[in-house]
Amino acid sequence: MRRRTGFWAALAAPGTLWIVALFAVPFYAVAAVAFGYTDPVFNSPVPEWDPRYWDLTAFGEILDRSLTGDLRPVFLRTFLYVLLALAVCLLVGYPVAYYLARHAGRRRGLLLALILAPWWVNYITRMLAWLNLLQDDGYVNDLLLLTRLVDEPVRWLSGNPVTVVLALVYGYIPFFIVPLFSALDRIDERLLEAARDLGCSGRRAFWHVTLPLSRPGLMTAGAITALPMFGDYYTNSLVSGSPTTTMIANQIEFYLLGGTRKELGASLVLLLSALLMVLMAYYLVSSRRAEEAGA
């Protein structure tokens, strides 16, 4: 018995050790910087490796500013943008994933390939293309003006929050569609047929069978989309660059890459990570519950 466990543990060991050495230890380094200080001459972080000497001032300051100070609106804005982006992902992504799983038929392979294709073009290149399209005199405004949907060009790139949210959606929606598709695909057609045989309308079958069964997939899709959005800083700086749309990761970038107090940046990282871990834990717990309920 013990030897059997040993074999599987040995298989898992290299990967686990890798993640410990190159993920857990570096994370400790972030804490060491957050509780350390910045070299005042070179503005470089000086990590404090020894927890006995940890200085919590910077973390306290960040916490304080996040609760009542200038970082509070930034946090709120970040949550709002991510929620809105998730909502759009859901509204667009669910029908797409559903169509793909149920109705695409022979075109399924082609559609999947098309949906995955943007992944193969560099993210920054795609965003640059959007920047061209969204200029005041760009194709998007041309189209909107031509179809009389608007009377004057929309200022997409003038620090417009709508653009930021849509750009986030654009950047991450494949991560949403793909897991959702595989969840919908796994749903047994016979269950739906049974529901219909029992007199359910298509709509009721969807609400009472498909939707509940796709919940785990939705959870995964939501988690896998939302978590990186919280840490995204370049989408925002590419399409907006305005202080009115600053998100939390922009402030992390600001404090970590510039500035004279790297410990503030590292503290902000710790705070954001703590929040994300709460979300992650919620996801893990509820997906396990969903799994158990499903079984």
Partner 1 sequence: MRRRPLVLATVTWAYVVWSLVPVLIAIQFSFNDGKSRSTWQGFSFQWYAGNPNSVAGDPSLRLALVNSLVLATLTTLIATPLGVAMALGLARWKGRTSRAANGLMLLPLATPEIVMGSALYLVFTNLYLFVPLGMPAQVLGHVTFSVSYVVVIVRSRLVSIGTDYEEAARDLGCGRLTALRLIVLPLLAPAVFAGAMIVFASSMDDFVISAFLSPDASSATVPIKLYSAVRNAPSPALNALATLLLVGSAVALVLAWLVLRRRTGSKALEQLASL
Partner 2 sequence: MPPSIDRRKFLLVSALAGVTAACGSDPTRRPSAASAVPLSRTDSPAALPLHDDVPMIANGLSPESGGTLKLLNYAEYISPDVVKKFGKEHGVEVEITTFTTMDEAIAKLRTAGTSFDVWFPTPDVIAKAAVGKLVQPLNKTYLGNLGNAWPQLQNPFYDEGSRYTVPYNAYTTGIGYRADKVKEVTGYDLLWNPAYNGKAYLIDDAREALALAMLKNGSIEINTEEPGKITKAGAWLTELVDLMNIKVGVTAYQYIPEGQATVHHCWSGDMVNAQSYLPKGVEADVLGYWYPDDNTGVVGTDAMAVPRGATKPVLAHLLINHLLDNAVAQENFSYTGYQPALTAITPEKMVTDEFVTEQLKSTIVTPEVYARSQQIFQISPAAEALWNDSWAQFKAGQ
Min dist. Cβ of residue 68 to partner 1 (A): 24
64 is an interface residue for partner 2 by CB under 8 A = no
Residue 287 site contact among partner 2, partner 1, none (CB < 5 to 8 Å, cut-off depends on kind): none
How many other β-carbons are positioned within 10 Å of the β-carbon of residue 276?
16
33 is an interface residue for partner 1 by CB under 8 A = yes
Identify the residue among 127, 135, 227, 231 touching partner 2 (CB under 8 A): 135
246 is an interface residue for partner 2 by CB under 8 A = yes
Size of the site for partner 1 (CB under 8 A): 97
User: Candidates 16-24, 53-61, 69-77, 205-213 — which segment interacts with partner 1 by CB under 8 A?
Assistant: 16-24
For the CA atoms of 92, 83, 237, 140, what is the dihedral angle to 10 degrees?
30
Phi then psi for residue 45, to 5 deg, are: -70, 140
250 is an interface residue for partner 2 by CB under 8 A = yes
Identify which of residues 66 and 210 has a Cβ nearer to partner 2 in the complex: 66
The residues in 211-250 that bind partner 1, with binding defined as CB under 8 A, are: 220, 223-224, 227-228, 230-234, 238, 249
The residues in 6-35 that bind partner 2, with binding defined as CB under 8 A, are: none
68 is an interface residue for partner 2 by CB under 8 A = no
Residue 241 site contact among partner 1, partner 2, none (CB < 5 to 8 Å, cut-off depends on kind): partner 2
135 is an interface residue for partner 1 by CB under 8 A = yes
Identify the residue among 67, 83, 121, 194 touching partner 1 (CB under 8 A): 121
Residues found near partner 2 in the complex (CB under 8 A): 37-44, 46, 48, 53, 55, 57, 70-71, 73-74, 77, 135-137, 155, 157-159, 240-246, 250-251, 254-255, 257-261
